[in-house]
């Protein structure tokens, strides 16, 4: 069955479903949702947790082995499958359906990237929908963000003036992971006071966020060498890869969506407006769309997936090297021989 994020807590207070599919590309909400399911599974007697990371079709064999194997102590276990691509392929589709047809007392949790419209009609997706719970995680839109921040602050026990919420919204620009961290900082420093805009201005650091977005804008402008130099500077300043990768990957998804819209007959102006591109950034985005081919965008999406997996530890690769490749391709595309320029 389909479940909205707002209904997850109530659902988990009851009987646990045999399987869950949590999908989306909003890291904080996906993390918190899966953590809640893990806690509920432990409370329901799943004392063992088995993780399966899918990077090749052969990895799906492990799910079949898990279905037919007993826990070391003959107790329930949580089987957790990481599927960042959101596409299990033929082998994965078959493995999921076979698992569900022979499911025992264990709980299956599949954590997936965003599911595309075509996959919503697939056999594996409909099988999961029938057998358990499908939880799509949607990004918080710009109009929804102030209310989300206000609710998050209330949950942290904070009282805040409307100007403080507005400033926090402006500084964070949709980065929920950074929002959660900054709200926690405000709680620790000013938890017993009403949060004002001045407190937000003095407490909330926006340097890392602006650096992340500056990096993206340098790459969009076509300055590959400058983008690499900026990225290496951020690494030297100990900025964490997830924050930068979030900004880069968001831009890659935006460019891919815009290219698809325009190829489908939507005008450039209309596509930019529908996708919510700020007017002051439209020239940069237009230039990148003119410069980058579909092949370039496909390569960037693959690099984003690999960098995300490397950052989280379930794929091989060095996140900083992969992000360098990403910003170079964003800046100048692939060479005719499909290689990426290197900078000393």
Contact 161, 151 (CB under 8 A): no
Kindly tell me if the per-residue pLDDT of 204 is higher than 60: yes
Kindly tell me if the per-residue pLDDT of 305 is higher than 80: yes
φ, ψ dihedrals at 159, nearest 5°: -110, 135
Rounded CA-CA distance 276/39 in Å is: 37
Looking at the domain 145-205, which fold is it? Helicase, Ruva Protein; domain 3 (1.10.8)
- pLDDT single digits (tens) 323-334: 999 999 999 988
Q: Does domain 208-332 have CATH number 1.20.272.10?
A: yes
Mapping DSSP to helix (H, G, I), strand (E, B) and coil, where does residue 195 land? strand
211 pLDDT band (50/70/90 cuts)? confident
Kindly tell me if the per-residue pLDDT of 340 is higher than 70: no
Kindly tell me if the per-residue pLDDT of 78 is higher than 70: yes
Q: Dihedral sign, CA of 183, 187, 191, 196?
A: negative
140 pLDDT band (50/70/90 cuts)? confident
Domain boundaries defined on the chain: 5-136, 145-205, 208-332
pTM listed for this prediction: 0.63
121 CA to centre of own chain: 22
* Structure confidence at residue 33 (pLDDT): 94
175 CA to centre of own chain: 11
Mean pLDDT of 75-85: 85
Rounded CA-CA distance 227/234 in Å is: 11
- Of the listed ranges 1-5, 76-80, 116-120, 146-150, the least confidently predicted one is 116-120
Rounded CA-CA distance 50/78 in Å is: 6
Mean pLDDT of 233-253: 86
Mapping DSSP to helix (H, G, I), strand (E, B) and coil, where does residue 221 land? coil
Q: DSSP string covering 46-109, please?
A: EEEEEEEE-SSGGGGHHHHHHHH---TTS-EEEEEEEETTS--HHHHHHHHHHHHHT--S-EEE
* Rama region for 333: left / alpha / beta (φ>0; ψ in -120 to 50; rest): left
* Structure confidence at residue 36 (pLDDT): 95
Question: Which residue would you say has higher pLDDT here, 104 or 262?
Answer: 262
Percent of the chain with pLDDT over 70: 92
Kindly tell me if the per-residue pLDDT of 24 is higher than 80: yes
CATH number given to 5-136: 3.40.50.300
Contact 123, 97 (CB under 8 A): yes
262 pLDDT band (50/70/90 cuts)? very high
Question: Which residue would you say has higher pLDDT here, 239 or 299?
Answer: 299
Rounded CA-CA distance 257/315 in Å is: 26
Partners of 20 in beta bridges: 109, 133
201 pLDDT band (50/70/90 cuts)? confident
User: What average pLDDT does the structure give for the chain?
Assistant: 86
* Structure confidence at residue 337 (pLDDT): 62
**How big is the CA angle at 164 (ends 163 and 165), to the nearest 5 degrees?**
90
């Amino acid at each position: 069955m389909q479940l909205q994020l707002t209904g997850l807590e109530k659902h988990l207070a009851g009987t646990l479903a045999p399987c869950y599919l949590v999908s989306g590309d909003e890291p904080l909400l996906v993390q918190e949702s899966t953590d809640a399911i893990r806690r509920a599974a432990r409370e329901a007697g799943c004392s063992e947790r088995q993780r399966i990371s899918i990077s090749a079709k052969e990895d799906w064999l492990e799910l079949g082995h898990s279905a037919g194997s007993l826990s070391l102590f003959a107790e329930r276990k949580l089987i957790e499958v990481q599927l960042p691509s959101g596409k299990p392929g033929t082998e994965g589709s078959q493995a999921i359906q076979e698992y569900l047809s022979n499911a025992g007392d264990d709980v299956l949790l599949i954590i997936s990237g965003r599911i595309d419209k075509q996959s919503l009609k697939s056999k594996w997706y409909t099988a999961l929908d029938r057998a358990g719970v499908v939880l799509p995680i949607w990004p918080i839109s710009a109009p929804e963000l102030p209310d989300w921040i206000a609710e998050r602050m209330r949950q942290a026990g904070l009282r805040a003036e409307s100007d403080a919420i507005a400033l926090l919204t402006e500084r964070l620009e949709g980065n929920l992971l950074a929002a959660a961290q900054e709200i926690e900082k405000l709680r620790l420093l000013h938890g017993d006071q009403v949060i004002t805009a001045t407190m937000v201005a003095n407490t909330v650091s926006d340097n890392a966020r602006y650096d992340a977005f500056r990096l993206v804008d340098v790459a969009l402008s076509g300055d590959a060498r400058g983008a690499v130099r900026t990225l290496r500077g951020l690494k030297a300043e100990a900025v964490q890869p997830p924050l930068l990768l979030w900004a880069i990957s968001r831009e890659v998804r935006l460019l891919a969506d815009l290219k698809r819209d325009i190829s489908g007959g939507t005008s450039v102006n209309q596509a930019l407006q529908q996708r919510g591109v700020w007017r002051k950034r439209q020239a940069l985005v237009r230039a990148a769309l003119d410069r980058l081919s579909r092949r370039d965008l496909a390569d960037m999406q693959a690099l984003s997936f690999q960098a995300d997996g490397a950052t989280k530890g379930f794929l091989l690769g060095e996140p900083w090297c992969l992000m360098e490749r990403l910003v170079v391709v964003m800046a100048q595309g692939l060479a005719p021989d499909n290689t990426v320029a290197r900078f000393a």
